[in-house]
Amino acid sequence: MSRLLVIGCGGVAQVAIQKCAQNNKVFTEMCLASRTVSKCDALKDKLEKQGTTVKITTATVNADDSADVARLIKEYQPDAVLNVALPYQDLAIMDACLECKVDYIDTANYEPEDTDEPVWRAAYEKRCEEKGFTAYFDYSYQWAYMDKFKEAGITGLLGTGFDPGVTSVFVAYAKKHYFDEITCVDILDCNGGDHGYAFATNFNPEINLREVSANGSYWENGKWVETKPMEIKRVYDFPEVGQKDMYLLHHEEIEALGRNFPEIKRIRFFMTFGQSYLDHMRCLEDVGMLSTSPINFEGKEIVPIQFLKALLPDPASLGPRTVGKTNIGCIFKGVKDGKEKTLYIYNVCDHQECYKELGSQAISYTTGVPAMIGTSLVLEGKWKKPGVYTTDEFDPDPYMEMLNEYGLPWVVDENPVLVD
Ligand code: NDP
């Protein structure tokens, strides 16, 4: 029996909410709150028409304003808040949870909307120099809540999507059941789906394009090694998808895994991209459309990447037209009983199957299901621990069981082809 407040009602949220409704032993009441409340109302109607037993209400909230989130928490009195809005809102929502002493869960780590803001910029430049990577996001802002969350007796579960989220659980699971020591991890994210558009992003365009157009980096011997965007390319033959080009990116779980598993000598993250996506992205970048700095256009201030977002297809609308499969997982090298060992744990997800079940494509599905699972484990008390933690810091077994139960079954291959 629990009451959940969900903030955001986009592609990922719609899956997470529908999966919470399937898990109605844990989630008995939900408030769906977002900037555009009509999306929450439409989803409430859909679930009620399907006969859900979960008691659903909706609300408008401005999650950039921590006081507004705190107002809603005080009104609704939830047991936990699931933040599936955007990374820009993480800190405002965490502040509200702290004020109201309510558990907090999200799927992506904090990054600021305005990367030109002078105070943030100065801290960012210092961090780039000290840590050696230039991504706009890092865990320092949320890890800084550790003591405050401990004192308040509340749990903050950070990054429970697929990557980060499931990929980090795969690492904890491999360590618990297959290795005495893990020495290398390659995280491979392959989307073999085709939506038929020349260019579209599978989740929030602004967040996606910021991530993909940034420098790459990987963790090696306790340090970051940074690369130019798309500098490192490999080709991999993915089970059930086939051969794809993949490129090394910076990715947030590397930071947490590097800290929490100091034995791992190298952690890399690769994502597949087709040539059309890369050509469009390069062109948009060259003409300044990926810029996050506001410009003045005919007397009105606009942010180019936000304008681009308005032109691109809404990721939530890609479901009916996307065919093909995703394959996301981790390849491990390490040692067990004194012998070298390799292992691959992955999930394959079919876009059309996801659409048939929930009306969403596989990228939203593979993120929304783990968002529900992490929230459920916190609410059930299995993953409740005052402080702020990533998914690799808990017992992986109940999470792995729920992946099988709620639509993301995984495969263990003890003889994988490695990435050079
Ligand atoms: P969408 O853009 O589809 O949805 C975002 C939602 O948040 C929208 O409903 C939006 O409202 C709402 N929102 C935005 N700003 C505010 C605000 N200030 N106050 C209240 N609501 C707000 O994004 P996605 O669903 O694609 O992504 C959601 C999250 O999931 C992101 O943080 C993303 O980074 C993360 N993600 C994580 C992945 C992982 O594997 N870990 C993979 C993919 C995504 P409106 O409808 O008005 O626009």
Best residue for ligand 1 mutational test, from 7, 19, 35 (most atoms within 8 Å of Cβ): 35
pLDDT for 211 equals 83
pLDDT for 204 equals 84
pLDDT grade for 38, boundaries at 50, 70 and 90: very high
- Residues 361-399 have pLDDT tens digits of 999 999 999 999 999 999 999 999 999 999 999 999 999
- Residues 4-27 have pLDDT tens digits of 999 999 999 999 999 999 999 999
pLDDT grade for 315, boundaries at 50, 70 and 90: confident
Contact 132, 218 (CB under 8 A): no
Ligand 1 near 163 CB (within 6 A): yes
Average pLDDT over residues 400-407: 98
Ligand 1 near 87 CB (within 6 A): yes
Q: Which two tokens stand for residue 188?
A: 């491979």
pLDDT for 324 equals 97
- Does position 328 have pLDDT exceeding 90, yes or no? yes
- What percent of the chain clears pLDDT 70, i.e. is strictly above it? 100
Ligand 1 near 165 CB (within 6 A): yes
Distance 237 CA to ligand 1 centre (A): 31
- What percent of the chain clears pLDDT 90, i.e. is strictly above it? 91
Average pLDDT over residues 333-341: 98
Average pLDDT over residues 263-277: 95
Average pLDDT over residues 59-74: 98
Interatomic CA distance for residues 189 and 191, integer angstroms:
7
pLDDT for 161 equals 98
Distance 408 CA to ligand 1 centre (A): 21
Ligand 1 near 107 CB (within 6 A): yes
Q: What angle do CA 413, 419, 420 make, to 5 degrees?
A: 145
Ligand 1 atom with minimal separation from the 315 CA: 3
Please state, in angstroms and as integers, the Cα–Cα distance from residue 54 to each residue in 11, 28, 172, 390, 402, following that order. 20, 5, 32, 28, 20
Average pLDDT over residues 113-125: 91
pLDDT for 261 equals 97
**pTM for this prediction:** 0.95
- Residues 161-180 have pLDDT tens digits of 999 999 999 999 999 999 99
- Does position 189 have pLDDT exceeding 90, yes or no? yes
Please give the sequence-ordered ranges of beta strands (E in DSSP) within 351-386, or none if there are none.
none
Q: Is 296 exposed, middle or buried (0-12, 13-18, 19+ CB in 10 A)?
A: exposed
